Chains A and B, each alone.
Chain A
Amino acid sequence: MRLKQTLEMALENLKRRRFRTSLTTLGVVIGITAIIALSSIGEGFRLAVKTNMEQGFELDVLTVIPGSIIGGYSYQKFTDQNVTSIRSIQNVTTVTPIMQITGASLKNGDKKSAALVVAAVNFTDFWRIFRNRLAFQEGGLPSSPKNDTIIIGHKVNTVNQTGTFAEVGDQVNVTFTVRSVPPFTKTLTFNVTGILAESGSSILTSFDYWVFIPLTTGRDIYQTEESDVIFAQVNNPEISDKVTDAIEALFPPFRITIIVPITFIRQVDHILNLIQIFLTSIAAISLLVAGIGIMNIMTVSVMERTREIGIMKAIGAKERTIMTMFLAETILIGLAGGLIGVPTGYGVAQILTMILSRFMLNQGGNNGVLSNPERQPSTTVNPVFSLEWTVGALVFGILICVIFGWYPARKAAKLDPVQALRYE
């Protein structure tokens, strides 16, 4: 029998058991809806987490720090020779060393403040690498930085919740502690050329608690030619691994650690992916239940239509034809279930994420920390339409229908025609 006639006949047979067909289809609809809803929310959640993480990292910046967890912490500083070697590695665009000075205190007239880190940096290179995170609220980068240039992080400049510590043009005193034997302190006066805007939370550190002075000044104070951390920017985050290997090769084993942001993201993405597969598998079970429903309904249907099957066979229908006829019915159920279930699934996902983000918004408002409105968009989860999941769910739905429809269809095909004709 031709495809068109087979489908027509299957449709006709489904229509004559409208109520039963609807219920069976509903089972498939629920299964597909669950799969689509969970997978699209999962995908959205993954995207939201990823976006959030990417905002917390400079994806293209490798951070080289001394010491290694495996080899034990060995105190090591970097020489300018190290910096030059790293700079010559392929795909590395900018390399900049910094000194991290801790324990410094700041004074502007009567006002006092403290910085988590006084970073002695090469302003041009450092800003090239972290341009997105280091926006100015006031002032800016001096075109030619002097030895006494200082740029102050947002939180360092905030005293007593709302007051400001300094303004552009102010002279501030910074007291450094030099840990030589015996230790001594050294106070220098700096000229404020810029105040940073809030930088947003970073995974590694927040520059809000930092102040920046020229690298040369830092080295003068501590009488050193070395630096504490090297930042290396790559031209494509995806090749971070290669560059990391090349940098590691420059040092003896276990002397340095390189923080590679893309591997964090990959890890998290991997975990989220596993969670999503797990959730979707649970949804897939509901489709299995629907499949059992189909098997049940089709078995009953074969029994009811025994006589018709006998007639078809007497007329000359082959086993294959009978089998195809019954399978066509279950495939149509699967197709209908899929075509209804996919949009329903995305609809349910939309509604669920709306409820979810409203709930999360309320939570944020309560504890105050997350209530920063600028950060809200990144925490909203939007269900993601994925062609792969859609096609996958449809195919899986139909596959389930075929698998569970197989046994009853085969039973129909194998009926003894003479017995079937006698059947009342």
Chain B
Amino acid sequence: MKFILEVKGVKKAYRMGNVSVPALRGVSFSVEEGEFVAILGPSGSGKSTLLHVIGGLDRPDEGTVFIDGEDIFTLSSNQLADVRLHKIGFVFQFFNLLPRLSALKNVELPLTLADVNEKETTEKAKKLLALVGLGERMHHRPSELSGGEQQRVAIARALINDPKIILADEPTGNLDTKTGWEIVELMKNLNAKKEQTFIIVTHDPSIAEEADRIIYVKDGIVEGIKERVNKK
């Protein structure tokens, strides 16, 4: 089986004045194409930092990341932006939609950045909004949508460029339990349907249990990996 993602010896420390605070202290693991992986760990364990490095938003101090066999940190920042645009989809805890744009325009944004023509862009965005269950509310602005709805828009936006990997950082962290589970269900369905790889960061063990594999992170290192028995 081919690895869509390989994390190799990633170290990253934050500099606070004169002291260096280690966030990642040597993380390595691999993810197969189409897997649904949860990264589980307590707050401050380095999950977000790890996700940012995987997604090419942040450069590690040591080690590197291969996406689709390509060492992404040999790339220029321009090329890295292209990796984010075409191979990665981000979903955040605080949704991170652009407040001035309608749901539709938010979803369209990655295709707009990729210079895809307007008609195709709009058609695809509408289709995806329907897929995540928001076909009716696509002309609303984020402020006019509930948290769950905003997160659906964010997921649609993450999916629109058909990325290989979706990275979600505590996607349920800002939602009530019921809505949170709906979002998890949505992502699981998408994973099953489209064979895209999902990596979800969470500190909620019950959500992590839904994944094919759980990667336990603590104090910036991988403490253990648990494979689910009835893995598809």
Question: Given the known A-B contacts A12-B100, A311-B96, A421-B92, are A316 and B113 also in contact in the complex, defined by CB atoms under 8 Å?
Answer: yes
From A5, A308, A321, A418, give the contact of B52 (CB < 8 A): A418
Do the beta carbons of A313 and B100 come within 8 Å of each other?
no
Interface residues of A in 278-320 (CB under 8 A from B): 307-308, 310-320
Q: Are B84 and A308 in contact (CB under 8 A)?
A: no
Residues of B within 8 A of A316 (CB): 81-86, 88, 110, 113-114, 161
Q: Does B144 contact A (CB under 8 A)?
A: no
**Known pairs A313-B81, A313-B84 / 14 extra A-B pairs, C-beta < 8 Å:** A1-B112, A16-B100, A311-B97, A311-B98, A314-B90, A314-B92, A314-B96, A315-B85, A315-B90, A316-B85, A316-B110, A319-B77, A319-B78, A418-B58
Interface size on B, residues (CB 8 A): 29
- The verdict on B157 contacting chain A, using a C-beta distance below 8 Å, is yes
Q: Flag whether B184 is at the interface (Cβ < 8 A).
A: no
Docked Cα-Cα span, A329 to B136, in Å, equals 32
Q: Name the A residues within 8 Å of B110 (CB-CB).
A: 315-316
Q: Quick one: closest B residue to A12, CB to CB? A: B100
The docked-state distance in angstroms from the alpha carbon of A314 to that of B106 is 13
Neighbouring A residues of B114 by C-beta, 8 Å: 316
Q: List 30 A-B contacts (CB under 8 A).
A: A1-B112, A16-B100, A307-B96, A308-B99, A310-B96, A312-B98, A312-B113, A314-B55, A314-B57, A314-B90, A314-B92, A314-B96, A315-B84, A315-B90, A315-B110, A316-B83, A316-B84, A316-B88, A316-B110, A316-B161, A317-B81, A317-B85, A317-B113, A318-B81, A318-B82, A319-B81, A321-B113, A418-B52, A418-B57, A421-B57
Chain A residues with CB below 8 A from B88, complex form = 316
Does more than half of chain A's interface fall in helix, strand or loop, or is it mixed? helix
Q: Which residues of B contact A307 (CB under 8 A)?
A: 96
A417 within 8 A of B: yes
How many angstroms from the CA of A421 to the CA of B101 in the assembled complex?
Answer: 18
Question: Could you tell me which residues of chain A, from 318 to 357, have a CB within 8 Å of some CB in chain B?
Answer: 318-321
Chain A residue at minimal CB-CB distance from B53: A418
Are B82 and A315 within 8 A (Cβ)?
no
The minimal Cβ–Cβ distance linking A245 to chain B, given in whole angstroms, is: 64
Which residues of A come within 8 Å of B, CB atoms?
1-2, 5, 12-13, 16, 307-308, 310-321, 417-418, 421
Please state if B100 and A13 are interface contacts (CB–CB under 8 Å): yes
CB distance from B151 to the nearest CB of A (A): 14
B112 in contact with A2 (CB, 8 Å) = yes
Question: Would you call B190 an interface residue if the criterion is a C-beta within 8 Å of the partner chain's C-beta atoms?
Answer: no
Closest Cβ neighbor of B97 among chain A residues: A311
Among B52, B78, B99, B113, point to the contact of A315 (Cβ < 8 A): B113
Select from chain A the residue with minimum beta-carbon distance to B110: A315
> Is the C-beta of B132 less than 8 angstroms from some C-beta in chain A?
no
Chain B, range 19-77, C-beta contacts under 8 Å to A: 52, 55, 57-58, 77
List of 5 A-B pairs having minimum Cβ-Cβ separation, nearest first: A316-B85, A316-B84, A318-B81, A311-B96, A418-B58
Rounded to whole angstroms, the CA-CA distance of A313 and B58 in the bound complex is: 11
Inter-subunit contact A318/B92 (CB<8 Å): no
Knowing A1-B115, A2-B112, A318-B78, the reply to whether A313 touches B57 (Cβ < 8 A) is yes
CA distance A321 to B81 in the complex (A): 11
Q: Are B84 and A2 touching (Cβ within 8 A)? A: no
A366 to chain B, nearest CB (A): 63
Kindly report which residue of chain B lies nearest to residue A5, judged by CB atoms: B112
- In the bound complex, CA of A5 to CA of B114 (Å): 11
Query: Min CB distance, A393 to chain B, in Å?
Result: 32
Residues of A within 8 A of B98 (CB): 308, 311-312
A161 to B94, alpha carbons, bound, how many Å? 96
How far, in angstroms, from A418 to B90 measured CA to CA in the complex?
A: 12
Q: Which residue of B lies closest to A318 (CB)?
A: B81
B109 CB contacts on chain A under 8 angstroms: 312, 315
Given contacts A315-B157, A318-B78, A318-B81, A1 and B57 within 8 Å (CB-CB)? no
Partner of B115, one of A2, A320, A418: A2
Residues of B within 8 A of A313 (CB): 57, 81, 84
Report A-chain residues with C-beta under 8 Å of the C-beta of B101.
12
Name which residue of chain B comes closest to A4, CB basis.
Answer: B118
**Which chain A residue lies CB-closest to B158?**
A315
Q: Which residues of A contact B157 (CB under 8 A)?
A: 315
Q: Which residues of B contact A417 (CB under 8 A)?
A: 57-58
Bound CA–CA A2/B161 (angstroms): 17
Q: A2 to chain B: which residues have CB within 8 Å?
A: 112, 115
CA distance A12 to B106 in the complex (A): 14
State the Cβ distance, B15 to closest chain A Cβ, in Å: 13
* Minimum CB distance partner of A16 in chain B: B100
Give the chain A neighbours of B96 by CB distance below 8 A: 307, 310-311, 314, 421
CB distance from A390 to the nearest CB of B (A): 34
Task: Please give me the residue from chain B that is nearest to A417 by CB atom.
Answer: B57
A305 → B minimal CB distance (Å): 10
State in angstroms the CA–CA spacing of A312 and B101 once bound together: 13
The residue of chain B having its C-beta at the shortest distance from the C-beta of A320 within the complex is B78
Smallest CB-CB separation from B58: which chain A residue?
A418
User: Which residues of chain B come closer than 8 Å to A319, judged between CB atoms?
Assistant: 77-78, 81
Contacts of B52 in A (CB 8 A): 418
Which residues from A are CB-within-8-Å of B83?
A: 316
In the complex, what distance in Å separates the CA atom of A393 from the CA atom of B77? 38
CA distance A314 to B91 in the complex (A): 10
Question: What separation, in Å, do the CA atoms of A321 and B83 have in the docked complex?
Answer: 15
Contacts of A13 in B (CB 8 A): 100
Residues from chain B with a CB closer than 8 A to the CB of A16 are 100
Residues of A within 8 A of B97 (CB): 311
Chain B residues closer than 8 Å to A12, beta-carbon distance: 100-101
A-chain residues with CB within 8 Å of residue B161 when the two chains form the complex: 316
- Bound together, the chains give a CA A12 to CA B99 distance in angstroms of 11
